[in-house]
Structure 1
Amino acid sequence: MMEPSIDLRYFWNKGVSYEKYKEIITLQEKQEIHSSDENIKKLAEYTRLNLSRIHRNDKTLILEESVTKQLACLSYKINILVISEGWCGDASQIVPVINKMVRCTDKLDIRLVFRDENERLINQYLTNGGKAIPIVILINAETFQEIAHWGPRPQPCTPFLQKYKSDPQHYSHDDFAIDVQNFYNQDKGHTISKELTRLIVKS
């Protein structure tokens, strides 16, 4: 349950556009890829890979007509606030889909905030006690009240995580990551856009 002290308008105003987000993580990657700190360097390597995924998704993702038609019928404005980081593989697959959805209608807008700079916010959206991202928060654009939130992955990825948690000795984190990535590659954003559209339209 979100604390009354969390002001979603504040975090929305603090957020950056999708294009600015890409600029920021591109600069982060260039600055940190040669770091002497191995942990920072590893995250930068993830960001580099994710940037290539983001650019590919920007070029190739196509929303289904059923999704675009539903979004075109929205009657009031919704702000979509995404908690993310450049090194997050799931974000590199999910955020471009949301951006495509936003571009379908003038009733949606997107801004992004960085998880590690906004601990007070992410702590209100923990997943099984962890700070998993991305977290997508749907906000009424007039009242700045939360409508719903979603994340960190589409529903079909849940069994992969459950399998890893229950038997990491025989199903490693690498196995989990491969299965999730294969899902994203095959699904091409359709499940993400449908799950989010259901929440948006339901609101």
Structure 2
Amino acid sequence: MLDSFLEFYNKIYFVDIIEFCGTFAFAISGVRLASAKSVDWFGAYVIGFVTATGGGTLRDLLLNTTPFWLLSSVYAWCTILALLAVILFRKQLVRLNSTFLWFDSIGLGLFVVVGTEKAISFGYPFWVVVILATITGTVGSIIRDIMINEIPAMFRQEWYALVCIFGVIIYYGLSALNVSEAFVQIITAASVFVIRLLATRYKLGLPTLKDES
């Protein structure tokens, strides 16, 4: 059954699907956080869109290529779907305190895969891939938090950027085993998601820098 699924998965444009799912997940997290700040619908859409596309935009600019969302309107429509989902199911989402964390972690895992594969496709070495994958996964949330006047989650939440590095290492490790590309993508995204949740659950983090004056 798993082999059949992986065969089907490989026949479709898996990178596009991963990017779409990551966009939707990050857009949900952005719109959900914006709703907690009583932002209007347009403002929530902008925040959701920036959350979903900010990291990939900076990555593509660094790679000297056209930002991905300029090549297709699907990402704008994806953000609209995320906005509608929050509007229609806001009460259910608010009742689920972990909603933001879950969607943010899903988006992080998926975008680490997208960022890793795009950097590799341009022929860059491992250390550059790590940086570009981390940018893909985190910069959108940094812009989001600045826009709503919050300290960026990357600088205050457990292993937010560190899990991106773990994700790239896992991706390379699985690829070295010559396993299916679909398997590498799924396991990498799932690993980032699980590690992020575990780090948050057990409050695993780096030491904070404190002013001793």
TM-score grouping bracket, smaller chain normalisation = 0.3 to 0.5
TM-score where L is the length of structure 2: 0.31
TM-score where L is the length of structure 1: 0.33
More strand by share: 1
